[in-house]
Chains A and B, each alone.
Chain A
Amino acid sequence: MTAGVASSRRFGAVGASSGAALVAALLAWLVGYPLLITLLAAVQVDGSFSLSAVSEFGRRADEWMALWRSIWTSIASVVLAAAVGVPLAFLFERADFPGRRLLGALVALPVALPPLVGVIAFLFLYGESGFVARLLQAMGFGVRWRLQGAGAILLVHAYSMYVYFYLFTRAALARIDGAYHEAATALGCTPIRRLARVTLPLLRPALAGAALLTFMTALASFSAPYIFGGGFRVMTTQIVASKLNGDLALAHVETIALAALALAALVAMRWVDTAAPGGATGLRGAVLRRRRPSAAWRWLLAVVCTAAAGVLMLPHLTLLLLSFVPPDTWTTQALPPVLDLGNYTILFAEPERLRPLVNSLWMAGVATALAVALGLLAARFSLRAGGRLGRLLEGLVALPWAIPGTVFAIALAATFSVSRPWLGRFLWIGTPWILPLAYLVRSLPVTGRAALAGLRQLDPSLEEAAAALGAPPRRRLTAVVVPLLRPALVAGAALAFLTAAGDFVTSIVLYTYSTRPISIEVLSSLRLQQIGLAATYGVLLMALSAAVFLVWGRRDAV
Chain B
Amino acid sequence: MLKIRDLHLAYGAVEVLRGIDLDVERGETVALLGPSGSGKTTLLRVLMGFEQGSGIVELRGKRLDGVPPHRRGIGLVFQNYALFPHLDVRGNVLFGPRSLGWDASRCEERLGEMLELVGLTGYERRRIGELSGGQQQRVALARALATEPDLLLLDEPLSNLDPELRERTRQQLADALRAVETTCLLVTHEQDEAFELGDRVAVLSAGRLEQVDVPERLYRTPATAFVASFIGRSSVLDAWPTERRGGELRVRPLRADAEASWPVLAPTERSGSPIEVVGPPGGEAPLRMWVRPEDWDVEVRGGERRHDAAADGSGGEQWLSGTVADVRFAGALSYLEIVVEEARIEVALLQGRVDPDALQRGCAVRLRPRSGALPVVFPDRGPSG
CB distance from B91 to the nearest CB of A (A): 9
Q: A8-B10, A483-B86 are in contact. Are A466 and B99 (CB under 8 A)?
A: yes
B222 at the interface (CB under 8 A from A): no
Count of inter-chain pairs, beta carbons less than 8 A: 106
Q: A464-B48, A470-B99 are in contact. Are A5 and B82 (CB under 8 A)?
A: no
B362 at the interface (CB under 8 A from A): no
A423 at the interface (CB under 8 A from B): no
A459 to B49, CA, bound (A): 18
Residue contact B70 to A459, C-beta cutoff 8 Å: no
Residue contact A465 to B76, C-beta cutoff 8 Å: yes
B123 at the interface (CB under 8 A from A): no
A6 to B55, CA, bound (A): 9
Which of B11-19, B180-188, B226-234 lies at the interface?
A: B11-19
Task: Produce 1/0 per residue, B132-176, CB < 8 A to A.
Answer: 000000000001101100000000000000000000000000000
By a CB distance below 8 angstroms, the chain B residues around A480 are: 84
Residue contact A465 to B9, C-beta cutoff 8 Å: no
CB distance from B147 to the nearest CB of A (A): 6
Residue contact A6 to B71, C-beta cutoff 8 Å: no
Residue contact A11 to B69, C-beta cutoff 8 Å: yes
CB distance from B17 to the nearest CB of A (A): 9
Residue contact B51 to A9, C-beta cutoff 8 Å: yes
Of all chain B residues, the one with the shortest Cβ separation from A464 is B50
By a CB distance below 8 angstroms, the chain A residues around B9 are: 5-6, 8
Which of A152-160, A273-281, A471-479 lies at the interface?
A: A471-479
A63 to B50, CA, bound (A): 58
By a CB distance below 8 angstroms, the chain A residues around B74 are: 468
Residue contact A11 to B54, C-beta cutoff 8 Å: no
By a CB distance below 8 angstroms, the chain A residues around B6 are: 2
Residue contact B54 to A5, C-beta cutoff 8 Å: yes
A467 at the interface (CB under 8 A from B): yes
A470 to B95, CA, bound (A): 9
Of A464, A469, A480, most B-chain CB atoms within 10 Å: A469
Residue contact A10 to B50, C-beta cutoff 8 Å: yes
Residue contact A7 to B10, C-beta cutoff 8 Å: yes
Residue contact A468 to B48, C-beta cutoff 8 Å: yes
A8 to B43, CA, bound (A): 12
The bracket for how many chain A residues form the interface is: 20 to 34
A5 to B69, CA, bound (A): 21
A259 to B15, CA, bound (A): 48
The B interface, classified by DSSP as helix, strand, loop or mixed, is: mixed
By a CB distance below 8 angstroms, the chain B residues around A10 are: 50-51
Residue contact B10 to A6, C-beta cutoff 8 Å: yes
A351 at the interface (CB under 8 A from B): no
Residue contact A475 to B99, C-beta cutoff 8 Å: yes
Residue contact A471 to B49, C-beta cutoff 8 Å: no
Q: A6-B8, A6-B9, A11-B69 are in contact. Are A465 and B82 (CB under 8 A)?
A: yes
B52 at the interface (CB under 8 A from A): yes
A475 to B97, CA, bound (A): 13
B293 at the interface (CB under 8 A from A): no
Task: Produce 1/0 per residue, A452-472, CB < 8 A to B.
Answer: 000000010110111111111
Q: A5-B15, A10-B50, A464-B48 are in contact. Are A459 and B82 (CB under 8 A)?
A: yes
Residue contact A472 to B84, C-beta cutoff 8 Å: no
CB distance from B48 to the nearest CB of A (A): 6
Residue contact A7 to B12, C-beta cutoff 8 Å: yes
Residue contact A465 to B78, C-beta cutoff 8 Å: yes
Residue contact B49 to A7, C-beta cutoff 8 Å: no
Of all chain A residues, the one with the shortest Cβ separation from B53 is A6
Of all chain B residues, the one with the shortest Cβ separation from A12 is B50
B 238-255 contacts with A by CB, 8 A = none
A470 to B54, CA, bound (A): 23
Residue in A2, A8, A461, A475 whose CB lies within 8 Å of B52: A8
A484 at the interface (CB under 8 A from B): yes
By a CB distance below 8 angstroms, the chain B residues around A461 are: 78, 80, 82
Residue in B11, B69, B84, B86 whose CB lies within 8 Å of A8: B11
A1 at the interface (CB under 8 A from B): yes
By a CB distance below 8 angstroms, the chain B residues around A484 are: 84-86
A471 to B48, CA, bound (A): 13
A7 to B83, CA, bound (A): 30
A3 to B55, CA, bound (A): 10
B96 at the interface (CB under 8 A from A): yes
A418 to B78, CA, bound (A): 56
CB distance from A474 to the nearest CB of B (A): 11
A231 at the interface (CB under 8 A from B): no
Residue contact B96 to A469, C-beta cutoff 8 Å: yes
Residue contact B84 to A465, C-beta cutoff 8 Å: yes
By a CB distance below 8 angstroms, the chain B residues around A471 are: 70, 95-96, 99
A4 at the interface (CB under 8 A from B): yes
Residue in B52, B70, B144 whose CB lies within 8 Å of A9: B52
A289 to B310, CA, bound (A): 82
CB distance from A337 to the nearest CB of B (A): 56
Residue in B8, B69, B85, B86 whose CB lies within 8 Å of A467: B69
Task: Produce 1/0 per residue, A1-33, CB < 8 A to B.
Answer: 111111111110000000000000000000000
A2 to B73, CA, bound (A): 28
Of all chain B residues, the one with the shortest Cβ separation from A10 is B51
Task: Produce 1/0 per residue, B46-68, CB < 8 A to A.
Answer: 00111111110000000000001
Of all chain A residues, the one with the shortest Cβ separation from B95 is A469
Of all chain B residues, the one with the shortest Cβ separation from A467 is B69
A466 to B16, CA, bound (A): 25
Of all chain B residues, the one with the shortest Cβ separation from A482 is B86
CB distance from B67 to the nearest CB of A (A): 12
A526 to B147, CA, bound (A): 66
A9 to B147, CA, bound (A): 27
By a CB distance below 8 angstroms, the chain B residues around A462 are: 82, 84
CB distance from B284 to the nearest CB of A (A): 30
Q: A459-B82, A484-B86 are in contact. Are A469 and B143 (CB under 8 A)?
A: yes
Residue contact B78 to A5, C-beta cutoff 8 Å: no
Residue contact B82 to A470, C-beta cutoff 8 Å: no
Of B12, B16, B84, most A-chain CB atoms within 10 Å: B84
Of all chain B residues, the one with the shortest Cβ separation from A459 is B82
CB distance from B145 to the nearest CB of A (A): 11
B309 at the interface (CB under 8 A from A): no
A7 to B49, CA, bound (A): 14
A467 to B9, CA, bound (A): 21
Residue in A5, A465, A470, A475 whose CB lies within 8 Å of B10: A5
A1 to B208, CA, bound (A): 14
A424 to B96, CA, bound (A): 44
A475 to B19, CA, bound (A): 35
Of all chain A residues, the one with the shortest Cβ separation from B15 is A5
Residue contact B51 to A2, C-beta cutoff 8 Å: no
Of B68, B69, B80, most A-chain CB atoms within 10 Å: B69
CB distance from A194 to the nearest CB of B (A): 39
A466 to B73, CA, bound (A): 12
By a CB distance below 8 angstroms, the chain A residues around B51 are: 8-11
A1 to B100, CA, bound (A): 40
B 1-48 contacts with A by CB, 8 A = 6, 8-12, 15-16, 19, 45, 48
A472 to B54, CA, bound (A): 24
Residue contact A464 to B82, C-beta cutoff 8 Å: yes
By a CB distance below 8 angstroms, the chain B residues around A5 are: 8-10, 15, 54
- 4 closest A-B pairs (Cβ-Cβ)? A469-B96, A11-B50, A6-B54, A465-B82
Known contacts A465-B143, A472-B99; 10 additional CB pairs below 8 A are: A2-B19, A6-B8, A6-B52, A6-B53, A8-B10, A465-B76, A469-B144, A471-B96, A473-B70, A484-B85
* Interface residue ranges, A against B (CB under 8 Å): 1-11, 459, 461-462, 464-473, 475, 479-480, 483-484
Could you list 12 examples of A-B contacts with CB < 8 Å? Answer: A2-B6, A2-B54, A5-B15, A6-B8, A6-B52, A7-B10, A459-B80, A461-B78, A464-B82, A467-B48, A470-B147, A472-B68
